[in-house]
């Protein structure tokens, strides 16, 4: 059994019409991305492929450029459904992360009343002024126009990266905001300034909507997109997450949210954006395909790589 391998300028597997194993099922998606067109053709011609490979190929077809067109708005709905049902696809590590988030949220819940009192005692005109600045970063009345401005600048300035970032940030803002609103109405938690204790949850309510913090969740949703898209630019990530953190603290200063609201909101925005970013990942890398090969001299597996 031999295992020849060589660099190939064009994929020969389609010409052979042989079943193959895509390296996409073996390697980390964050490091390797495979063009889906060939995979989809092979799946159509070879219905015997495993469902796992078919699912990988279907997911990979979501990757690539993102434009402001009808597909963008359709994608918001499909991405929302995918993100909402993500727990159905979680593995052990995902559930472990969710457990940590739940545990830390619970710890803040126990300390909510004490933390509220500490912020109330330290509140001053200075903290109010600072809070008024950073509150805007989670307020849709400000962030949506700013994102629209960045999109237009990227679109007409032929800056595809900025255009893509603005569109992904807007989608993350909208999807995260929807999730936060559903949780707010479902839990019915009164805000701190109403004078009720932190353990008060009235259930379905349109007037008490403290949990989670919508400002914090959307601020972290945008920050996560910006940090991801400009991960190679120094200071972008710490500045983005720093602004989002100060947005959360502004909600504590203003007595608009409990500490547990803010922490869970931050986690909600971060992980929702991570899910959306994964669906739209366009990171480049080597392209590998592994498939069986046989002729009159030998047989084995061929590793085809494209650059």
Please check whether residues 121 and 245 belong to one and the same domain: yes
How many domains is the chain partitioned into structurally? 2
Total-model pTM: 0.72
d(CA 304, CA 289): 5
Which pLDDT does position 65 carry in this prediction? 73
CA nearest neighbour of 301 among 2, 71, 40, 47: 2
Domain of residue 296 covers: 5-64+284-306
Same domain, 206 and 172: yes
Q: Are residues 165 and 292 in the same domain?
A: no
Q: Give me the CATH number covering residue 131.
A: 1.10.606.20
Q: Do 22 and 149 fall into the same domain?
A: no
User: Is 238 strand, coil or helix?
Assistant: helix
Domain shared by 28 and 153, yes or no: no
The one-digit pLDDT tens for each residue of the chain (307 residues) are 444 444 444 444 444 444 444 444 443 444 334 344 444 444 455 555 445 444 544 444 344 578 889 999 999 999 999 999 999 999 999 999 999 999 999 999 999 999 999 999 999 999 999 999 999 999 999 999 999 999 999 999 989 999 999 999 999 999 999 999 999 999 999 999 988 889 899 888 888 899 999 999 999 999 999 999 999 999 999 999 999 999 999 999 999 999 999 999 999 999 999 999 999 986 544 444 445 555 556 555 555 444 4
pLDDT value at residue 51: 53
Are residues 155 and 86 part of one domain? Answer: yes
48 and 111 inside one domain: no
Residues 16, 101 within the same domain = no
Cis amide prior to 104 (ω within 30 degrees) = no
Q: How far apart are CA 256 and CA 249, in angstroms?
A: 10
For residue 17, give the nearest of 231, 301, 262, 293 by alpha carbon: 293
Two tokens, residue 116: 């509220």
- Adjacent-strand bridge partners of 174: none
Same domain (yes/no): 138, 259: yes
Are residues 74 and 45 located together in one domain of the fold?
no
Strand order, beta sheet including 287-294: 5-7, 299-306, 287-294, 21-22
């Amino acid at each position: 059994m031999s295992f020849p391998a060589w660099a190939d300028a064009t994929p020969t597997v389609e010409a052979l019409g042989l079943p193959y194993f895509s390296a996409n099922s073996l390697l980390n998606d964050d490091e390797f991305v495979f063009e889906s067109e060939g995979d989809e053709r092979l799946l159509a011609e070879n219905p015997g492929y495993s469902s796992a490979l078919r699912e990988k190929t279907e997911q990979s077809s979501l990757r690539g450029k993102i434009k402001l067109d009808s597909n963008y708005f359709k994608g918001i709905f499909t991405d929302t459904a995918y993100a909402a049902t993500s727990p159905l696809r979680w593995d052990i590590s995902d559930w472990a992360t969710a457990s940590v988030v739940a545990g830390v949220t619970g710890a803040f819940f126990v300390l909510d009343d004490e933390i509220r009192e500490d912020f109330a005692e330290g509140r001053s005109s200075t903290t109010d002024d600072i809070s008024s600045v950073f509150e805007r970063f989670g307020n849709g009345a400000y962030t949506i126009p700013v994102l629209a401005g960045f999109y237009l600048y990227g679109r007409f300035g032929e800056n595809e990266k900025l255009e893509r970032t603005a569109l992904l940030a807007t989608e993350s803002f909208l999807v995260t905001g929807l999730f936060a609103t559903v949780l707010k109405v479902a839990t019915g938690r009164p805000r701190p300034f109403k004078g009720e204790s932190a353990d008060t949850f009235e259930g379905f309510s349109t007037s008490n909507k403290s949990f989670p913090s919508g400002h914090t969740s959307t601020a972290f949703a945008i920050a996560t997109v910006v940090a991801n898209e400009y991960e190679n630019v120094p200071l972008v990530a710490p500045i983005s997450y720093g602004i989002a953190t100060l947005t959360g603290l502004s909600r504590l200063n203003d007595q608009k949210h409990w500490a547990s609201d803010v922490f869970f909101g931050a986690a909600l925005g971060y992980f929702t954006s991570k899910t959306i970013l994964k669906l739209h990942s366009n990171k480049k890398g080597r392209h590998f395909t592994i498939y069986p090969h046989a002729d009159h001299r030998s047989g084995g597996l061929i590793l085809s790589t494209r650059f």
